Structure 1
Amino acid sequence: MAFFTDPSRRGGRLRSLVALPAVVLLGTAALSACSDPGASASSASGDTSTTAARNGVVYNTSPDQQRVRAEKDTALAAKVPELIGKDGKLTVATTAGSIPLSFHATDDKTAIGSELDIAQLVADKLGLELDIQVTSWENWPLKTQSGDFEAVFSNVGVNKDRVKLFDFATYRAAFMGFEAKKSATYDIKGADDISGLRISVGSGTNQEKILLAWNTELEGKGKAPAVLQYYSSDADTILALSSGRTDLNIAPYPSTVYRENTRDDLKIVGKVNAGWPSETLVAATTLKGNGLAPVLTEALNSAIKDGSYAEVLERWGLSEEALPESKTVNEANFGAAK
């Protein structure tokens, strides 16, 4: 679903025409992204166009985003692989599944968020029109391999399985947050702290991999594993947490920060790197070997240098996850490049 950019530095508006339907997540999609599906501003935070949070951020959740924009870099534009740039578009997939990263605005159909703002900066730098395609967690890997998507901006963390099929351009730190009801006394630092608890998690995500590994560790110690629970949408997940049907939710850290600062009933009770037991980063995801990832890396570094990248992160309350430099990560340099 394409939208048309305003040529001025500010004022581009995303025009997305199709809402992502809720999908019940029962299985594991081995290569899916790091987040939870189905978030919308109207369902998670009330049908208002702005939300003033306790952390000082005023979140604009309306369809009219007035995005931060960047100028075209002619030298970078010339480096875009011909097969990708010939239609004048950068086709970007997102799952619209996690406030404030990528989610549906108050109209329940327009995809907005920090991930799309960063994608906009990259498209601007490369002189391409940003073509946003909302998809499901299960579909982005196959559709990227088939060429339907040229890049994925949806909180995708780099890991050893994904580098076998995709190349990456890093742009943000990758952490997961544990959240609970305000009255909870949990302090989640490792496997022992989740024994016997009911935890909601997105199927096929990095956070699910962490919990499964922690459960294996618990079972090896003769302790009760956590009970993992799966819901069809972000709204259903948070309703289950706030009503006491789950004890914890693990989600992208920016989303837990958003809720802690815009709700009165939830708080963060733990934080873990999305690549546990090692570390990882969030990255733009491209088909392995097609030459696009290094160009995206250069575009991101240009945005870092001119300050537009920092402006986007500040706009969404994500400054603490900023990177000083974007790097290209592929199978050959995985580990060394992080």
Structure 2
Amino acid sequence: MPPITARLLALAVLPAVVLPALAACSDPGASAAGASPSASAARNGVVYNTSPEQNRIRAQKDAAAAAAVPAAISKDGKLTVATTAGSIPLSFHATDDKTPIGVEVDIAQLVADKLGLALDVQVTSWENWPLKTQSGDFEAVFSNVGINKDRVKLFDFSSYRAAYMGFEAKKTSNYNIKGADDISGLKVSVGSGTNQEKILLAWNKELEAKGKAPATLQYYSSDADTILALSSGRTDLNIAPYPSVSYRENTRNDLKVVGKVNAGWPSETLVAATTLKGNGLAPAITDALNSAIKDGSYGKVLDRWGLYEEAVPEAKTVTEANFATYQTGKTP
């Protein structure tokens, strides 16, 4: 595997149109079900540390980025960050069932370090982060949130990771999911109100227009039930954020990834730190992210969680004012 700095130079981050629903992109969906602590390297070579003792990669303060933090946010010396803690390796609870860990938390730590602030992580539900960010309970959200045209009306963004969804199936299956035709007649589990659900609904419309059998979408009350249904054969496929399905492929013996699609299908999107619109924090976070990209700490975090394929070479601030420009870019 080439060094991540070399890989970053080969990427271009010029995203296009994203899906509209405020709460649809990109809820982690199926997540930590079936996971277990890893004391040795998984099949992708990553040793996943799921203990509370993380020994996180840290970064030095960036004076310029720190100076850009609004006084109303920096005055208490903390950066209060929300995460949903529901999806390995994005954000999830450690083996003590209380400590939030994962790549999202690690990147938030880098940002806090660069801004000279202490990281205060607050776990919330996917449904609650928008309201609590608007109310001021959270200063930033690091939880696999995608940028879309509805969210920019309420929030500002600092992009930091590519966004993909993955299809997973039993290891004995022969599925190869590339588009609507490949899910015809299959039973597919999906999270309600998620971006991946919107992709499947759009694909079902395509199938119906062609006179083909649509997929049957199946919903479960918990992630554990979702993966149990898949592994037992009650569903044919599950669609969830690619980091999660990739993690399961590399740490279990019964599941594998059988397809990958951009989370903004039919366009492109990026994962971004989310802040209250107009409060001035997003540019400071963008500066902090770019400082971490430049000094290599960002790349080390992604490598630590096996997410080097989702690295971006540059963080960008996206607001309602520049969203139209953001939409017109070509895809990576």
TM-score w.r.t. the length of structure 1 is: 0.87
**Equivalent position SS for 2:325:** coil
Q: How does 1:279-290 map to 2 (within 5 A)?
A: 279-290=268-279
Q: Pick the aligned partner of 2:256 from 261, 264, 267.
A: 267
**Pair 1:74–1:30, CA change in 2 (3 A):** closer
1:88 match:
77
Question: Counterpart amino acid of 2:298?
Answer: Y
1:73 and 2:65 matched? no
1:170 and 2:159 matched? yes
**Equivalent position SS for 2:127:** coil
2:99 match:
110
1:44 and 2:42 matched? no
Whole-Å Cα distance in 1 between the matches of residues 305 and 159 of structure 2?
18
Question: Counterpart amino acid of 1:98?
Answer: S
**Equivalent position SS for 2:165:** strand
Where structure 2 has 5 or more consecutive residues not aligned to the other structure, the ranges are: 1-20
Give 1:38 deviation, angstroms: 7.5
Question: Counterpart amino acid of 1:307?
Answer: G
- Which deviates more, 114-123 or 325-334? 325-334
Q: Pick the aligned partner of 1:330 from 296, 319, 327.
A: 319
1:311 match:
300
Whole-Å Cα distance in 1 between the matches of residues 258 and 167 of structure 2?
6
Give 1:211 deviation, angstroms: 1.1
1:182 match:
171
Residues 171-197 of structure 1, C-alpha deviations (whole Å, 9 max, x = no match): 011111000001111111111111221
Residues 62-99 of structure 1, C-alpha deviations (whole Å, 9 max, x = no match): 01100000111222211111221121111111001111
Q: How does 1:2-151 map to 2 (within 5 A)?
A: 30-37=22-29, 39-40=31-32, 44-46=34-36, 48=37, 50-151=39-140
Where structure 1 has 5 or more consecutive residues not aligned to the other structure, the ranges are: 1-28
Q: Pick the aligned partner of 1:220 from 209, 212, 220.
A: 209
Question: Counterpart amino acid of 1:34?
Answer: S
**Equivalent position SS for 1:257:** helix
Give 1:312 deviation, angstroms: 0.3
1:205 match:
194
**Equivalent position SS for 1:132:** strand
* RMSD between superposed Cα atoms in Å: 1.6
2:17 match:
none
**Equivalent position SS for 1:331:** coil
> Do 1:38 and 1:103's aligned partners in 2 also have CA atoms closer than 8 Å?
no
Whole-Å Cα distance in 2 between the matches of residues 271 and 39 of structure 1?
16
**Higher RCO (CA < 8 A, seq sep 6+):** 2
Question: Counterpart amino acid of 1:224?
Answer: A
- Which deviates more, 215-224 or 50-59? 215-224
Residues 246-288 of structure 1, C-alpha deviations (whole Å, 9 max, x = no match): 1111111111111111111111110000010110111101111
Give 1:224 deviation, angstroms: 2.2
Give 1:220 deviation, angstroms: 2.2
Question: Counterpart amino acid of 1:110?
Answer: T
Give 1:107 deviation, angstroms: 1.4
**Pair 1:186–1:37, CA change in 2 (3 A):** closer
1:302 match:
291
> Do 1:37 and 1:96's aligned partners in 2 also have CA atoms closer than 8 Å?
no
Whole-Å Cα distance in 2 between the matches of residues 335 and 241 of structure 1?
40
1:234 and 2:223 matched? yes
Residues 146-205 of structure 1, C-alpha deviations (whole Å, 9 max, x = no match): 111111101111122222211110001111100000111111111111122111112222
Give 1:335 deviation, angstroms: 4.8
Give 1:122 deviation, angstroms: 0.1
**Pair 1:242–1:336, CA change in 2 (3 A):** same
Question: Counterpart amino acid of 1:178?
Answer: F
* Identity in percent: 79
Give 1:307 deviation, angstroms: 0.4
Whole-Å Cα distance in 2 between the matches of residues 67 and 136 of structure 1?
24
TM-score w.r.t. the length of structure 2 is: 0.88
Whole-Å Cα distance in 1 between the matches of residues 24 and 180 of structure 2?
23
**Equivalent position SS for 2:233:** coil
Q: How many residues align?
A: 307
Whole-Å Cα distance in 2 between the matches of residues 191 and 336 of structure 1?
30
Question: Counterpart amino acid of 1:109?
Answer: K
Question: Counterpart amino acid of 2:123?
Answer: V
